Structure 1
C-alpha cells in the first residue's frame, strides 16, 4: 500500500499517516516552512486548532502542541481576542519564496575566512591515492595495511579484557598524555625494537601525526617562525604547521636526503627541522650518518629542535630496521613520531610523539587546553597487544607479506608497464614510486593520470602532491601493502591501459631517482 495523506486546505498542510515523522512534527515543520517561504505573511491569522484538527483528522492536542512550539520559537503569537497569527516582527531578509528549478537564483557569496583557514584550505587538496570512508578496497591505495592480516578476534578479546573492569581513573577523566599502560608499553617496544630509551611520561598518545606536529609546534615555536620540511614530503606535515601558524620552508632533498647546508642557506633563522631520516616519504631516501650528525649538531648549536617522522621505520626488507635519529641524540633536541594506524589498521587513529624531556612540563599544561585527547577506548587493548608480544609477531608476519607483495608488483610491472612507467624497488616502506618512461614523460600530468586510473578501477596517488614549491616532479605512488596478491596483476593491466592514452609523440626526462 502507498502512503495515505490527510490535507488541510486552508494552510496547505499534507500529513502522511505512515511517514517517518510524527503528525505533530509534520504540522510544525510545514507551518514554519510556509512562513519562511512567504506563503503565510506576517500578521496572517491561522484557523482555530479545532478546525485544523477536524480538517487533518487528528487529535486537537496534536495541533495545539505544534502551535505551542511555534509560539515558543517566535513564529506565531497568540492573543486572547484574536487567536493565533503569524508574528509581525520576523526579519524581512529571512522571508523569501521557495526557489524553483525554472527560476535561477544567484549563488550564495563565499564566506569571509581568516588567513589561517585559507592556508589550511590550500593544503587540503584531496589526495586521490587515499581511500575514502566506506569505499571497498581498490589497488593500490596509499597508507593502507593489510586488514585481513590483523588478528581482529584477538583484538576483540583484548578490548573485552580491558573494559570488563576498567580502572577508575581510566573510566573517568582520561589522562591528557594517554593511557599509562600504553605509554609504558611503547617505551619498552622502542627500547628493544628501535634502540633508544625514553621515559614513559614523555610519550604523548595522539590522534594522528598531524596532531603530534601541531602540539610540538605550539609548545616549541612562536607563531610565524619558519620550520624546515622536506621537499618533496608528506603534505600533512605542512598542513599541521599551517594550523599552528608556523611557516613551512621546503628544502629540496637530493640523492643523500635532507641537506642541512641547503636548509641553512634558505632559512638560517629556523629552529625546527622535520625529517624522515630512516625512510623518506615519498622517495624512500635514507639519510646518511654524516648528515644526521650535522643535523644534530645544528640543533644543539641553535638550541633548535628536530621532529623525526618514523612513519614506516618498522618495515625494512633487507637487514634490520635502521636506527632512528633519536638514538644518536645526546642533547635532548629530537622528538620522535610513530603511528599505529599504518602498522595495524587505519580506524585505530592512534599515534604518539616522544617529547624531548625539556618540553614535557610545557606539554602537560598546553595539551589539555588546546587539543582533545586521543580516543581512550583502544589504548588499553593496544598496551596489552604490545606487552604480550603480539605487535612483534604481527610486524614479523606483515614484513614478510609486504616484501612478497612488492616483489610481485615489480614482476608484474616489468610485464605491464614497460615503455610507460619505471619503478625502482624499495628496501622498505609500503609503497613504490612509478616514474614516467622517456616516451611518456613529456607533458605527463600525474593528476590526470590518477583520475584516469581511478576511472579504470585503480587507485594511485600523484607524486606532485608531495611538492610545495613551483618545481614539481610528476609520477605515481602505488601502495602495495593493502593490495592482495591476486589483485596485483589485473590491477596493473588496467593501470597500463589507462596510461596508454597519455603516450605522446616525443620523449623527455622522467622523475627523480633518489633511492638508496
Structure 2
C-alpha cells in the first residue's frame, strides 16, 4: 500500500453529500469496511483527522466522531504522540477471506425431499410487467391514487400502536367485518367476520390451507389446465394431484369421480376458470358439492377475479350455494386494487374456523395493520365499489380492443375467444403452430404471451395462448397485436421451412 507521512491514502472513500445517510455514518461505515475487508491491515496508520477532513471535504469534527466510534468498537486505537492506527486485535480476530467462487461452481444445498419432488413440476414465473400481453395485471393507470393517498396519510397520523405494532394474526377486525359485509351484499355469501381470515395474498392462503389440511399422499382434484401457484402449494406438501379436465361448463365432475371419488380437496376457479375462462355451470356446482359431501372432502373456491365481470350477471359463488359448509372461499385484492398490497382473505366454513385460528396463531406474522386499515376505509367510504364499477367498464373496452385488433392482425393464425370476466382471454392457434414456440419468439420481441400448455398437468388436445389485456391501454393492445402478428408470421415461416 502506498504510504506517506500523513497516514494511509484512503482514496476509495467517497462521500455522497446528496445521500439521506449522514456524512458521519457514511465515513464510519467506509472505514469499518476497509478494516474488516482487509483494505487496512493491523498496525496501519490512519491519516490525521485534519488531513482526512481536508481530503474528503468534510468537517474535522465529523472525522473525529467517526474515529471515536471505531475506537469504541475496538477497530482502531490512538497512540499518544504517534497518531491513530488499526488495532492489532484486528489481525487476530479477522476471519480468513474465502476465495470468490462463481455461482455455478458452488455446490447446491439439497432441497427437502418434498420440495425436491415438487420442484420438478413447477412452472417458471413469467414477467409481471405492464406490457402486451401480460396476464393478471390490473390497470395501474386507472387506479385512484389521490383517494388512496388521502386515506394512507390519515392513517399515518393515527395511533402509533396501530401503525407500528404487531398485527392481529387473524386480521384487523374492522376489515374482517367490512369484507363480510361486502360478500353478503355483492357476492351472495352469508358469513360472519369471525369466518374471515386476512392473509398476505391468495398464494399465502393456498399455503395455509395446504399446511392445515393436507397430508402427504392426499388426493386433490385440480382443474386441467389450472392455476400454477396454487398447484405448487399443494405439491410441496406432498399432495397427489388428480388432473380433472375442463370444458365449456367448467370442471368435469363426472371425470373427477371416475378418476378419484375419495378426494381430500378439490380446487376450482368457478367464476372465471384459470386460464380457459369458462364459468362452472350451476349443474356442475351442485354436482361438485354433492361429490365433496360424499367424500368428506373440501372444495377450495378461488374467486380471483370474480368481481370483474363486464357482460351480463355472474352466476352465484359456489360458497353462496354451499348449504353443507364444504367450501373454503379465497379472495384477493391483487386484481381489484393492486398486487403490491399482498392482501387476500380466506372465508372458512364453520367447521374449519378453529383449524385456521390454530394455524394462524402459531405461524402467521399477520398482515400490517395499516394496510388493512387503508383497504377497510376504501371499502367503507364507497371508493372500492366505485373503483370496481369503473374497472368493469375499462376492462370491457380493453377486451373489445383486443378482439378488434385480433380480427385485424391475428386472425390468420389464431382465434381469440370473447370473454365476459377478468383480465385475460385465450386464443386457439391454428393447427401446426405450437404455443411454446410462439411464446418463446414473442418474448424476444418484449411480448409476454403464455402458452396454455404451461398450465397443464397432462396434455390437452388444442394449442393456444393466454393473452392479458387488463394492464395495457387500447393503443398498446393495437401495437402488441401488430408485433405478435410479425412473430406468428416468422414462426409459421420457420415451421414451413423445416
In structure 2, stretches of 5+ residues that fail to align are 17-24, 53-62, 77-86
Alignment RMSD, CA only?
A: 3.4
2:354 aligned with 1:365: no
For 1:459, the equivalent position in structure 2 comes to 448
* 1:283-302 alignment runs, 5 A limit: 283-302=276-295
Find the aligned partners of 2:64 and 2:310 in 1 and give their Cα distance: 75
User: Is the contact between residue 462 and residue 477 of structure 1 (CA under 8 Å) also seen in structure 2?
Assistant: yes
- Deviation of 1:296 after TM superposition, in Å, equals 0.7
Find the aligned partners of 1:169 and 1:67 in 2 and give their Cα distance: 40
Name the CA shift for 1:385/1:190 in 2 (closer, same or farther; >3 Å). same
Find the aligned partners of 2:162 and 2:27 in 1 and give their Cα distance: 46
Q: Please give the per-residue CA displacement for 1:388-417, whole angstroms capped at 9, x wherever unaligned.
A: 322222222211221121111111111101
Q: Please give the per-residue CA displacement for 1:230-260, whole angstroms capped at 9, x wherever unaligned.
A: 1111101112213444333222223332122
User: Is the contact between residue 127 and residue 465 of structure 1 (CA under 8 Å) also seen in structure 2?
Assistant: no
For 2:115, the equivalent position in structure 1 comes to 117
- Deviation of 1:178 after TM superposition, in Å, equals 1.1
Find the aligned partners of 2:287 and 2:303 in 1 and give their Cα distance: 19
* 1:400-479 alignment runs, 5 A limit: 400-438=393-431, 440-441=432-433, 444-446=434-436, 448-469=437-458, 474-479=463-468
Select 1:309's aligned residue among 282, 292, 302: 302
2:12 aligned with 1:16: yes
For 2:135, the equivalent position in structure 1 comes to 142
* 1:372-411 alignment runs, 5 A limit: 372-411=365-404
Select 2:473's aligned residue among 472, 481, 484: 484
Find the aligned partners of 2:89 and 2:484 in 1 and give their Cα distance: 65
User: Is the contact between residue 134 and residue 449 of structure 2 (CA under 8 Å) also seen in structure 1?
Assistant: yes
2:490 aligned with 1:494: no
User: Is the contact between residue 143 and residue 479 of structure 1 (CA under 8 Å) also seen in structure 2?
Assistant: yes
- Deviation of 1:434 after TM superposition, in Å, equals 1.7
Name the CA shift for 1:168/1:68 in 2 (closer, same or farther; >3 Å). closer
* 1:27-426 alignment runs, 5 A limit: 28-34=32-38, 46-47=42-43, 51=45, 53=47, 84=88, 94=96, 107-119=105-117, 121-122=119-120, 125-128=123-126, 130-131=128-129, 137-166=130-159, 172-426=165-419
Name the CA shift for 1:218/1:127 in 2 (closer, same or farther; >3 Å). closer
- Deviation of 1:355 after TM superposition, in Å, equals 0.3
Residue 210 of structure 2 aligns to a residue in which SS? helix
Find the aligned partners of 1:473 and 1:167 in 2 and give their Cα distance: 56
- Deviation of 1:452 after TM superposition, in Å, equals 2.7
User: Is the contact between residue 218 and residue 244 of structure 1 (CA under 8 Å) also seen in structure 2?
Assistant: yes
- Deviation of 1:17 after TM superposition, in Å, equals 5.0
- Deviation of 1:500 after TM superposition, in Å, equals 1.4
For 1:512, the equivalent position in structure 2 comes to none
Residue 197 of structure 2 aligns to a residue in which SS? strand
- Deviation of 1:172 after TM superposition, in Å, equals 3.9
Name the CA shift for 1:332/1:126 in 2 (closer, same or farther; >3 Å). same
Residue 247 of structure 2 aligns to a residue in which SS? coil
User: Is the contact between residue 229 and residue 251 of structure 1 (CA under 8 Å) also seen in structure 2?
Assistant: yes
Name the CA shift for 1:267/1:9 in 2 (closer, same or farther; >3 Å). farther
Find the aligned partners of 1:418 and 1:287 in 2 and give their Cα distance: 28
Q: Please give the per-residue CA displacement for 1:63-112, whole angstroms capped at 9, x wherever unaligned.
A: 8976885779xxxxxxxxxx937757988xx555668xxxx998111112
Residue 196 of structure 1 aligns to a residue in which SS? coil
Q: How many residues align?
A: 467
Find the aligned partners of 2:219 and 2:417 in 1 and give their Cα distance: 34
Find the aligned partners of 1:158 and 1:68 in 2 and give their Cα distance: 45
- Deviation of 1:29 after TM superposition, in Å, equals 3.5
- Deviation of 1:457 after TM superposition, in Å, equals 3.3
Residue 156 of structure 1 aligns to a residue in which SS? helix
- Deviation of 1:264 after TM superposition, in Å, equals 2.9
